[in-house]
Each structure stands twice: as C-alpha cells, then as structure tokens.
C-alpha cells in the first residue's frame, strides 16, 4: 500500500489518493516492510496523500508525526 501511496502522490490525482488514504490512515504509526526493505513511516505517506486531497492541516499533522517518529 505504501507503493500505491507513492504513486498516487506522484500523479497528484485525488481520484487515486482518496481510497489509499482511507486504507493507510489507521496504520499511520507503523513502518511498512516487505520482508527485505523498510520504507519511511506510513504517516509520511498519509501526509502526502492528504496534501493531494487539499487537506493541508491534516497533512501537517501527519508530517509532524512522521518527523517525531523518525527522530
């Protein structure tokens, strides 16, 4: 799902960002792992998706969470 989030953020289309943010938001305090590599915090991905959706205040909260989580 993190890869889908990255793709939705890259194309900047709310049609794709909406469904992915709904699925990832409950996992915002987790790190995605495929068994070999680990991505950044899910909260960072959710922040990017919220930005695409024009939810800037929510995005700021998710980005702040990602920054603290990564510290």
The domain total for the chain is 1
Q: pTM of the prediction?
A: 0.90
Q: What is the pLDDT of residue 38?
A: 82
pLDDT band at 40 (very low <50, low <70, confident <90, very high): confident
Q: Which CA distances in Å does 55 have to 4, 12, 62?
A: 19, 13, 11
The percentage of residues in the chain with a pLDDT greater than 90, rounded to a whole number, is 77
13 phi/psi in degrees, rounded to 5: -120, 115
Distance CA 23, CA 33 (A): 16
Structural domain boundaries, residue 65:
2-30+38-70
What is the spatial distance between Cα 69 and Cα 63, in angstroms, rounded to a whole number?
10
Using the predicted structure, report yes or no on whether residue 71 has a pLDDT greater than 80. Answer: no
Mean pLDDT (the chain) is: 93
**What's the average model confidence in pLDDT over 7-11?**
96
End-to-end Cα, the chain, rounded Å? 23
């Amino acid at each position: 799902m993190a890869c889908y989030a990255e793709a939705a953020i890259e194309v900047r289309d709310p049609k794709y960002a909406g469904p992915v943010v709904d699925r990832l938001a409950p996992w915002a305090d987790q790190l995605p792992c495929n068994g070999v590599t680990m991505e950044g915090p899910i909260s960072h991905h959710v922040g990017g998706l919220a930005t695409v959706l024009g939810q800037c205040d929510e995005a700021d909260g998710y980005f702040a969470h990602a920054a603290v989580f990564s510290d």
